[in-house]
Amino acid sequence: MMEKYADAIDRLSKLEPREKTVDAVLRSLKDNPADLSTRLALADLFYTFGELGHAVEVLEQAIQEDPQSSLPHYHLGITYYRMGHLKKAVAMLEKGYGLNKNIAMYLYWLGIAYYHMGEKAKAERSFAELLKKCPQSRMAYYHLAVIAIAKGSHKKSIEYLEKLVDIDSDDTAALYHLAVAYQETFQTTQALATLRRILEIDPRDMRAKRLMEAMNSAP
């Protein structure tokens, strides 16, 4: 296995300044080249340093040798997503999630991939399922709100955003989207109060300043 990636591994070994994770993975690779955790670590190194093609090869080989292992599917799905191969990413993530439904982050990446494919209904189902598994998931609430906004369902987006703000009252991104949703539903008082809250947290927030100025100058 090591010979197949000799050039890439040689480049990793010459990195300056050297990272501790690189040294650890190279040592483990020398001692345990066929170990799954070692292969995943090598794939992660390739991923981190932009060697995505090598990462795919490592992960595909791991899946070929152990098709019932969920983690290589997870990592390969994310790698395909980063490469822009959305259909491949979804197929790999769906398969991996079918092998192990305890890894909730599958649902996050599925939701993201489906959303960027324009499959908003499937994305919504993925994030909703993530929320069932992780009721305090900020990522799930945020993306469900974004999907609701894209669908023009501002009242629904308000429900998700208010939940998100309950979890983190200083989340200015959530607060800004909430202010916009209030504005879209003609709740001007709530919108302005939310914008003032953003500016209390970050007085330099230009989005909040511009929206407040526009609302205050409206007839």
Which pLDDT score, from 0 to 100, does residue 4 have? 58
Q: pLDDT per residue over 142-193, tens digit each?
A: 999 999 988 889 999 999 999 999 999 999 999 999 999 999 999 999 999 9
The structural domains of the chain, ordered by start, are 136-219 (1.25.40.10)
pTM of the model: 0.81
Rounded Cα distance, 170 and 138, in Å? 13
